[in-house]
Amino acid sequence: MRKVLLPSLIIIAASLLVIRVFYLQIIDDSFKLKSENNAIKKQYDYPERGYIYDRYGKLLVANQASYDIMVIPREVKEDLNISEFCELLNITKEDYQKRIAKARVYSPRLPSVFLSQLNKSEFAAFQEKIRKYDGFYFQKRSLRDYEVDYGANIFGFITQVNEKLIAKNPYYNSGDLIGKQGVEQSYEEILRGIKGVKYIQKDKYNREIGSYKNGKYDTIAVQGEDINLTIDAELQKYGEELMINKRGGIVALEPKTGEILALITAPSYDPGILVGRQRSKNYTLLYHDSIAKPLYDRGLLAEYPPGSPFKLLTGLVALQEGVIDENFSVSCHHGFSYARGRFMRCHCSGGQLQLHRGIYQSCNSYFATAYMKTINKYTKPAAAVDVWSNHLKSFGLGQFMGYDLPTGKRGKIPTSKTYKRMYPNGGWRSTAIVSNAIGQGEVVMTPIQLANMMATIANQGYYYTPHIIKKIEGKKIDSKFTTKHTTTIDQKFFPPIISGLFDVYNMGTASRLKVEGIDICGKTGTAENFAKIGGKRVQLKDHSIFVAFAPKDNPKIAIAIMIENGGFGATIAGPIASLMIEKYLKKKITRKDLETRVLNISLRSEYAKLGGMPEAEAIESTPKDSALKAKIITPKVTTPQAVVKKTIIDTTKKN
């Protein structure tokens, strides 16, 4: 038996091996297609990317025809007339040699892009003579065709894949295009479609002789899916116009759904300049512009002290913790005294204030008192801070919000760990951290977090994760965008806060910003802004902040505006909020006085002043890595499509 077992195993194994080889060689030849088979040429058919529309069906992004010149280095003839070839494509001989060398490094046998994104007129001359140049052929693709000159931060752009991505993702080949930033990146797999492929048989002379296996393995290209964004295109356009000569961010949400109605960053640029053969050059100019940072989305990335709007959360937490009620009263003497003579100034009218008046007059004393009562409720400050922090995090603060855009910052809500690092020897109390009460201190938020905070207050205690996708043809949007998030604050505590916000417009700090026929609830904010210059701490012009929602009953829009170095909240940010709200709800503007004022405000000179600061290092609300070498710039970017907007000005480099 033992003598038979070993020969039997050998025979069986050999038989299986022979059968497998026969199957692969004779019956199943699909593996030939996966190898670098010189007798079989892959020809790709690239689909159109899906179109992008706004919430009302307005076309924002379409496609235009483009052509790439491809090269297979080993098939290029040595006697090629380089001078004629270069003249035809308007390139130099040195450029030709560099491109050929790069293609050889990628693969001498596989095709790679020699010259990308030729338009129809550029391609026409080459098409007539392409038969003369062995090893070269053209690949038709589609590039983006922007129907609007705004919303660049929302759309993102299309670029060629790099070798690292090709190695990581087998779907992509050299020369393929991929979405970067914005919705082009977030919804790449939906927008790109599925490319088709044809296998062409070649003879021993490298001539094409027909379809391999009669097209048995060929596939058809599938066009990308169209998508509708939640953006109101007209509101987006209007907001960008209002932000000319200013720097900052605007975020508008629909409270009951979390849909992003407008996402504005300033300075910005025309998305059309990142299309075509000039894309790389223009992107390099934008990327290396450390002054304007036009690729930096301030609505999602910029982190600021929220200032007075944060008082709303201070009040809500104090109500929830039972340390105050609506009738709790504080006596304000134009400031709040604490900790060995330290004094927090206040600009309210003073006297006895309850919660309602404390909100519409933005009393620092009232909310500093409420905050300290919240912290002092607990025996240990560390435990109190964590309770306070957990309440705030239920509003989506201090964390990534989970929206469907590929960039963002988490902001900062301090915890006991924060203060243990700051005070390693202990001994800190509520007086050491009381500036948190008014949105200064260690609290930092992004504009989209501020907008979501107002949406949550408008909804009286719940929110939906902000998102920019409204509809995908034939598909459902991610369920996380339809999941309700409820805060730790009881619903009964929101009406008194909303009442105070309503009177901000009636008798408070925004009384001159009312819009007839719209009940707006809002809150002004002014965040202090400091810089370290020559070793000294210097106060710069404050940031202008405003948050609002409207109408008061059944709110349809919540908005946050942050204008860097803009001064008081009611000066610039407040008027912009009123105008944006009216534009969305009425589709027209009646407050022409506010519109004229905002459009005529330019902060160019304010930003330019910062450029005169020697060896300035920004701190606190201004990032630490900034050189503050401010100047007003107009990048010299010229393309057939458009030029960079002349509003690209800035003073700081954001983290």
How far is CA 385 from its chain centroid? 31
Report the Cα–Cα distance between both ends of the chain, in Å, rounded.
77
- Spatial CB neighbours of 242, under 8 Å, sequence gap ≥ 6: 576, 579, 580, 595, 598, 599
Triad 29, 32, 37: Cα angle to 5°: 150
Q: Sign of the CA dihedral 543, 549, 551, 557? A: positive
- Strand residue runs (E) in 357-460: none
Distance CA 207, CA 230 (A): 51
- CB atoms near residue 580 (< 10 Å): 25
Distance CA 136, CA 126 (A): 11
How high is the pLDDT of residue 616?
A: 33
Distance CA 368, CA 361 (A): 14
Would you say 335 and 345 are in contact if contact means Cβ atoms under 8 Å apart? yes
- Residues forming a β-bridge with 535: none
Would you say 202 and 209 are in contact if contact means Cβ atoms under 8 Å apart? yes
H/E/C letters for each residue in 586-628?
Answer: HCCCCCHHHHHHHHHCCCHHHHHHHCCCCCEEECCCCCCCCCC
What burial letters (b/e) apply to 253-283, b meaning 16+ CB within 10 Å? bbbbbbbbbbbbbbbbbbbbbbbbbbbeebb
- Residues forming a β-bridge with 69: 115, 138
How high is the pLDDT of residue 5?
A: 67
How far is CA 648 from its chain centroid? 18
Instruction: Look at residues 316, 309, 485 and name the one whose alpha carbon lies nearest to residue 403.
Output: 485
Would you say 414 and 442 are in contact if contact means Cβ atoms under 8 Å apart? yes
How high is the pLDDT of residue 3?
A: 63
Task: Report how far apart, in Å, the C-alpha atoms of 224 and of each of 60, 143, 184, 191, 471 are.
Answer: 16, 13, 12, 5, 14
Distance CA 572, CA 235 (A): 18
What one-character DSSP code corresponds to residue 333? S
Instruction: Tell me which H or E stretch contains 383.
Output: helix 381-393
Distance CA 249, CA 247 (A): 7
How high is the pLDDT of residue 646?
A: 36
DSSP 6-42: HHHHHHHHHHHHHHHHHIIIII--THHHHS--TTEEE
How high is the pLDDT of residue 1?
A: 60
- The CATH code of the domain at 40-229 is 3.90.1310.10
Q: Where are the domains of the chain?
A: 40-229, 233-650
Distance CA 405, CA 321 (A): 35
How high is the pLDDT of residue 624?
A: 28
**Are 40-229 and 233-650 equal in CATH topology?**
no
Helix 233-242 × helix 573-586 angle, to 10°: 160
Distance CA 373, CA 470 (A): 43
Tokens representing 127? 């098409």
Q: Which fold has domain 233-650?
A: Beta-lactamase (3.40.710)
Distance CA 158, CA 176 (A): 10
Distance CA 604, CA 608 (A): 6
Distance CA 365, CA 346 (A): 7
pLDDT block averages, 10 residues each, the chain of length 655? 67 74 56 56 85 97 89 87 86 90 86 82 79 85 91 94 87 88 96 89 71 81 94 97 94 98 95 86 87 90 92 97 96 80 81 94 93 94 96 95 92 94 87 90 94 98 97 90 97 97 93 95 85 70 92 97 90 96 97 95 76 36 29 32 36 30
Where does residue 287 rank: exposed (0-12), middle (13-18), buried (19+ CB within 10 A)? exposed
Instruction: Look at residues 450, 411, 451, 444 and name the one whose alpha carbon lies nearest to residue 305.
Output: 444
Task: Report how far apart, in Å, the C-alpha atoms of 605 and of each of 246, 304, 624, 651 are.
Answer: 11, 22, 22, 11
CA neighbours within 13 Å on the CB side: how many for 97?
A: 4
Q: Is 431 helix (H, G, I), strand (E, B) or coil?
A: helix
Distance CA 227, CA 220 (A): 22
